[in-house]
Homo-oligomer: A and B are copies of this chain.
């Protein structure tokens, strides 16, 4: 790919506070996006903000999400209004020696752009298949293919990332020097999003076995790790 390694930084995405935590570095932004699959999309209707949790996937500098063709959210977003799509990983609770210095370890991306509807049936089908492949590389081969009526019932949006900013906090608490002698436990309580034991559908077909494409989703593994590996494994749909 022949792209600049950084997204433009304007007043919209520039971090006013804590610039040491800010970076527009493209690889870091992609890494944060590719380690999750649920974002929070912000959009405005008649001056009122809405924040909706939504599944998403990335291809290059485009982010895709979808839903029912009857969705008010998607109908509004498809009008190319500005949206802010935020992805957050919570990595730990940070305990300090004063309430003031308690904090949270996290990685977060705010991506700005305008969403547009993808109308072309072939492009739509390929993108929706790519969503399944992004999560479970190889699964589409075992599924009943998308039907034309399903394509029609689905609104697919894509947003080219116009700007993005990343915020990250890592490491131990930073306390006032005078407080370090206090006899209170301080440090980080790490938080992880992990897979639990799979629950088979009660109506699972008798000849349906646990497939290779789900092997990475083993109990106890980190969701971020599985998603990142799957993203690296999936074949591009273009």
Contacts and interface: CB of A to CB of B under 8 A. Distances in A.
Contacts of A51: 40-42, 51, 84-86, 110
Interface residues of A, number: 96
A42 B172 CA distance: 29
- This chain: copies in complex: 2
Contacts of A102: 132, 135
Contacts of A85: 51
A191 B197 CA distance: 9
B140 A99 contact: yes
Interface of A: 12, 16-17, 38, 40-44, 47-53, 55, 67-68, 70-72, 82-86, 88, 90, 92-93, 95, 97-100, 102, 104, 106, 108, 110, 112, 128-129, 131-132, 135-136, 139-140, 142-147, 150, 154, 172-173, 176, 179-205, 207-211, 214, 217, 223
A86 B154 CA distance: 24
B205 A187 contact: no
Contact of A42 (B50, B179, B193, B198): B50
